[in-house]
A = this chain, B = another copy of it.
Amino acid sequence: MIVVMKFGATDAQVNNVMERIRAAGLKEHLSHGVERTIIGVLGQIYPELKDTLEVLPGVDEVIRVSKPYKLCSREFHPKDTVVQVGGVTIGGNDVVVMAGPCAVESEQQLREAAVAVKAAGGTILRGGAFKPSTSPYSFRGLGKTGLELLAQMKAETGMPVITEVMSVRDVEAVAQHADILQVGTRNMQNFYLLEEVGKTGKPIMLKRGLSATIEEWLLAAEYILAQGSKQILLCERGVRTFETFTRNTMDISAIPIIEKVSHLPIIADPSHGTGKWYLVIPMALAAVAAGADGIMVEVHPHPDSALKDGAQSLNFENFEKLMKLLVPVAAAVGKRIASQSASSIS
């Protein structure tokens, strides 16, 4: 941490800052520049110290130089984390494809989707049982019935399932039925939920918040990792900008950035990332070309009668088209589309 004094700060002000630093059990390091005096702070710094020092007289700004996250950083853990779930490896050279309907609507709808996803080469089944909805008047999911249908399709197809958990109340039920628990964008900073999912020991996929910086996203992952959990996936799903053509602006650069600063696998969700089905294929290909460890896409038997997010769902024909295009794009960057190891299928 570095304290930059104001132009013209007095010696008394500088001394006061140094005393504060020492009072916190830390050491200081003084440096007089041409225009300003700068004080380095040495030792194990706690985050609140920035606030404390920033309001002292004569201080212009306080600059953090250490990263505030540790457990999820590549500096702390240089090797890639690989997540294993139901015979599927996420995080190595394989590109995992998670697909299925936005919301579980019925047994028939989910089965049709699951069969089609598997036939086309998808390896993990997604489906929402608890659905966040901006309006209280919209469809909010089948709840526990949805969880049971997911478990049933897992039994029928052998595919592991991923589904969202929205509340600490539901963590136990979701953990019982799902192979991967998803924490959604609106809950990225629901800190109690992060801790509770971390305690389950299950793989967690943490979606980026709507306007979360990469640092805030990693700090949210840190809440989960701090529970001892290590099986965490990050998922880029678009951020909020001024552009209105798309539902969100998908930040593809987050993919190589996460790869650089963290050891956690990074998944891309072009369905929510764009909100328009005809953008899903090009953006999925872009994500894989940029190094994504997997993609999550919405697939629906009949997008035009979907109860939720039909506009961003692929029909089966387009999903097959995507799977065919993914193969050479993955190969071009030295990867391959993940398949499930035979032994693991129940």
> Complex: how many Å from CA A209 to CA B245?
16
CB neighbours (8 Å) of A287 from chain B are 286
- By a CB distance below 8 angstroms, the chain B residues around A251 are 241, 243, 249-250
Look across to chain B and name the residue whose beta carbon is closest to the beta carbon of A241. Answer: B241
* A241 → chain B closest CB, angstroms: 5
> Which residue of the partner chain B has the closest CB to A26?
B34
CB neighbours (8 Å) of A239 from chain B are 241-243, 249
What per-residue 1/0 map shows which CB atoms of A213-255 lie under 8 Å from chain B?
1111001001100100000000000011111111001111101
Total copies of this chain within the assembly? 4
**Do residues B213 and A310 form an inter-chain contact, with CB atoms below 8 A?**
no
Is A345 interfacial (CB-CB < 8 Å)? no
Check B36 against A65 for contact (C-beta < 8 Å): yes
- The answer to whether A278 and B304 touch across the interface, beta carbons within 8 angstroms, is no
| Interface residue ranges, A against B (CB under 8 Å) | 2, 4, 7-8, 29, 31, 33-36, 38, 40, 42-44, 46-48, 51-52, 54-56, 61, 63, 65-66, 68-69, 75, 132-140, 166-169, 186-187, 189-193, 209-211, 213-216, 219, 222-223, 226, 239-246, 249-253, 255-257, 260, 273-274, 277-279, 282-283, 285-291, 303-311, 313, 325, 328-329, 331-333
Smallest CB-CB A-B distances: 4 pairs: A211-B211, A328-B332, A289-B289, A286-B286
